């Protein structure tokens, strides 16, 4: 994968969940059987921690993504929260109103990605001094190959972890959790077990049996809820079960090659590389905007749908991916805060806004107008891909218009150089007014 093709696109623009974990791909693994040592570093509550440092909010419960209206009522969705807030029961994706009911003195702040990206770059500079092989997996998660320490023993490895954590704290004023293991998968599990500000090294079978074997299989990188449900039917609930049962059940469920890959990932036998200058392409590209207040203006909702399509298609062009099956969600403001979802197809695989809008807008606006006629206002819109492929593949019965592809390429170049809204469809100016999770769109 050529990083030069991606570098001009801001693929983290307006993205809450930057990291979407998927199982380690076969072509991202070492071919040799040589044992290696990996470190995973996770910045604890990164956004909240940065703001606590910036505004001296240490010790206060802080929620990122919400705000208060002039009358004091909290709006928005909690994107993440400090550990002080989490201890009170504040959770990610909770409504700000609900969070304020739990903790009336909760501090709300909006997300400032430019600030976090700058600090993330500083973090990478610190880590580069400790190893030549550092992978930025997301803004606040990094992997490091530390195989050079493998033969130096446990005390040397813990000393290295302490020095890394200390350097980050001294230079950035931030704390992190660090995990070390002989696979990337297990190093991530190890760092998760010692939050916040902790360290854990899985260096022997006894370490694995004590700390990792009791974990549910769906805690593992790449094993989601659906796969976990399949595995439970085979009696595989924990990592210990997977180790004991071997790879055969995985191969029966997921196919010979994919099943083995899943089993290796779960049991820490994968040989994943630390990928430098690689762009991690998610399995799904999505966008969701919950309005700061409900609206009954159909043109404003239409503008938000246009914006959602624009955001998703822009990122897909950056990832060099196209989709032909999509999902859209219209969120209602009612007792249960539910809504209507629908799937739709484009004529073929595409990442151009016009094709998506042509097949999304009619269905979406019918739902919007039907809800408004019943007195139900609209609270948010979302869009996500259901089926994606690489853009190099050609189709027999569908071709994007050449002039349209050139138009979007030129538009992207201008927006990448001069800002994301330099060139845009006029309809986005009909968007719903109010605050958002993001400082740059408030």
> pLDDT tens, 271-298?
888 887 656 677 789 998 888 778 999 9
Element (H, E) at 413: helix 402-418
Is the distance from CB of 329 to CB of 341 less than 8 angstroms? Answer: yes
- Per-residue pLDDT at 20: 41
- Residue 120 falls within a domain, yes or no? no
- Residue 15 falls within a domain, yes or no? no
Is the distance from CB of 286 to CB of 382 less than 8 angstroms? Answer: yes
- Per-residue pLDDT at 427: 64
- Per-residue pLDDT at 275: 81
- Sign of the Cα pseudo-torsion (180, 181, 187, 189, in order): negative
pLDDT (mean) for 53-66:
93
- The reply to whether 383 and 356 lie within a common domain is yes
- Per-residue pLDDT at 15: 57
Final residue in a domain of this structure, among 273, 306, 332: 273
- Residue 37 falls within a domain, yes or no? no
Listed ranges 78-87, 414-423, 428-437; the one with the highest mean pLDDT: 78-87
**Average per-residue pLDDT for the chain:** 86
- Per-residue pLDDT at 17: 44
- Per-residue pLDDT at 437: 60
pLDDT (mean) for 329-337:
76
For residue range 339-356, what is the model confidence (pLDDT) as tens digits?
899 999 999 999 999 999
- The reply to whether 232 and 336 lie within a common domain is no
Query: Which structural domain range is residue 375 located in?
Result: 286-441
141 is catalytic: yes
- Residue 279 falls within a domain, yes or no? no
Which 8-state DSSP code applies to residue 348?
Answer: E
Query: CATH no. for residue 365?
Result: 3.30.1490.100
Rg over alpha carbons for the chain, rounded to the nearest Å, is 23
Q: Of 172, 186, 88, nearest to 123 (Cα)?
A: 172
- The reply to whether 299 and 437 lie within a common domain is yes
For residue range 76-108, what is the model confidence (pLDDT) as tens digits?
888 889 999 999 999 988 888 999 999 999 999
The DSSP code sequence of 366-411 is HHHHHHHHTTPEEEEEEEEEEEEEETT---SS----HHHHHHHHHH
Q: Which of 51, 84, 135, 141 is catalytic?
A: 141
- The reply to whether 246 and 361 lie within a common domain is no
- The reply to whether 245 and 107 lie within a common domain is no
Q: Of 273, 282, 267, 255, nearest to 386 (Cα)?
A: 282
- Per-residue pLDDT at 4: 44
Final residue in a domain of this structure, among 239, 273, 307: 273
The alpha carbon torsion through 158, 161, 163, 169 (nearest 10 deg) reads -140
- The reply to whether 82 and 107 lie within a common domain is yes
For residue range 2-52, what is the model confidence (pLDDT) as tens digits?
444 444 777 766 654 434 445 556 667 777 778 899 999 999 999 999 999
Q: In what order do the strands lie in the sheet with 377-390?
A: 286-295, 377-390, 321-333, 339-350
- Per-residue pLDDT at 13: 64
- The reply to whether 267 and 406 lie within a common domain is no
- pLDDT confidence tier of residue 368, bands split at 50, 70 and 90: very high
- Per-residue pLDDT at 57: 94
> Lowest-confidence range among 64-73, 208-217, 341-350?
64-73
Is the distance from CB of 195 to CB of 42 less than 8 angstroms? Answer: yes
- Residue 20 falls within a domain, yes or no? no
- The reply to whether 309 and 436 lie within a common domain is yes
pLDDT (mean) for 108-119:
89
- The reply to whether 417 and 305 lie within a common domain is yes
- The reply to whether 228 and 269 lie within a common domain is yes
CA atoms of 171 and 216, how far apart (whole Å):
36
- The reply to whether 308 and 436 lie within a common domain is yes
- Per-residue pLDDT at 337: 59
- Residue 345 falls within a domain, yes or no? yes
What end-to-end distance do the CA atoms of the chain give, in Å?
A: 35
Q: How many domains does the chain have?
A: 3
Final residue in a domain of this structure, among 86, 113, 140: 113
- The reply to whether 267 and 291 lie within a common domain is no
Which 8-state DSSP code applies to residue 218?
Answer: G
Query: CATH no. for residue 78?
Result: 3.40.1170.60
Give yes or no for residue 358 having a pLDDT over 70.
yes
pLDDT (mean) for 175-189:
94
């Amino acid at each position: 994968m050529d990083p030069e093709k991606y570098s001009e696109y801001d693929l983290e623009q307006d993205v809450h969940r930057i990291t979407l974990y998927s199982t380690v791909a076969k072509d991202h693994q070492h071919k040799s059987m040589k044992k290696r040592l990996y470190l995973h570093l996770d910045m604890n509550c990164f956004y909240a921690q940065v703001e606590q440092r910036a505004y001296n909010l240490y010790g206060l419960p802080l929620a990122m993504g919400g705000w208060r209206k002039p009358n004091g009522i909290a709006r928005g969705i909690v994107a993440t929260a400090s550990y002080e807030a989490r201890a009170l029961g504040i959770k990610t994706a909770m409504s700000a109103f609900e969070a304020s009911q739990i903790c009336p003195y909760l501090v709300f702040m909006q997300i400032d990605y430019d600030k976090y990206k700058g600090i993330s770059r500083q973090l990478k500079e610190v880590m580069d001094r400790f190893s030549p092989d550092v992978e930025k997996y997301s803004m606040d998660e990094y992997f490091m190959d530390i195989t050079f320490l493998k033969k130096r023993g446990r005390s040397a490895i813990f000393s290295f972890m302490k020095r890394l954590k200390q350097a980050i704290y001294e230079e950035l004023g931030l704390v992190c959790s660090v995990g070390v293991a002989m696979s990337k998968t297990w190093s991530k599990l190890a760092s998760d077990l010692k939050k916040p500000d902790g360290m854990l090294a899985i260096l022997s079978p006894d370490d694995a049996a004590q700390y990792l074997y009791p974990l549910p299989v769906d805690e593992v990188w790449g094993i989601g809820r659906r796969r976990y449900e399949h595995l439970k039917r085979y009696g595989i609930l924990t990592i210990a079960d997977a180790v004991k049962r071997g790879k055969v059940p995985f191969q029966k469920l997921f196919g010979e090659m994919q099943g083995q890959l899943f089993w290796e990932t779960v049991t820490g036998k994968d040989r994943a590389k630390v990928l430098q200058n690689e762009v991690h392409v998610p399995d799904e590209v999505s966008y969701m905007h919950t309005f700061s207040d409900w609206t009954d203006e159909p043109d404003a909702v239409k503008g938000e749908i246009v914006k959602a399509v624009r955001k998703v298609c822009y990122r897909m062009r950056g990832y060099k991916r196209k989709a032909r099956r999509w999902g859209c969600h219209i969120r209602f403001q009612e007792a249960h805060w539910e809504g209507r979802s629908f799937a739709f197809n484009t004529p073929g695989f595409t990442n151009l806004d016009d094709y998506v809008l042509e097949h999304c807008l009619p269905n979406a606006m019918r739902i919007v107008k039907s809800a408004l006629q019943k007195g139900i206002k609209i609270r948010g819109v979302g869009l996500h891909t259901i089926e994606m492929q690489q853009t190099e593949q050609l189709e027999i019965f569908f071709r994007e218009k050449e002039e349209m592809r050139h138009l979007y390429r030129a538009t992207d170049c201008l927006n990448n150089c001069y800002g994301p809204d330099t060139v845009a469809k006029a309809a986005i100016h009909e968007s719903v007014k109010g605050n958002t999770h993001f400082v740059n769109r408030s």
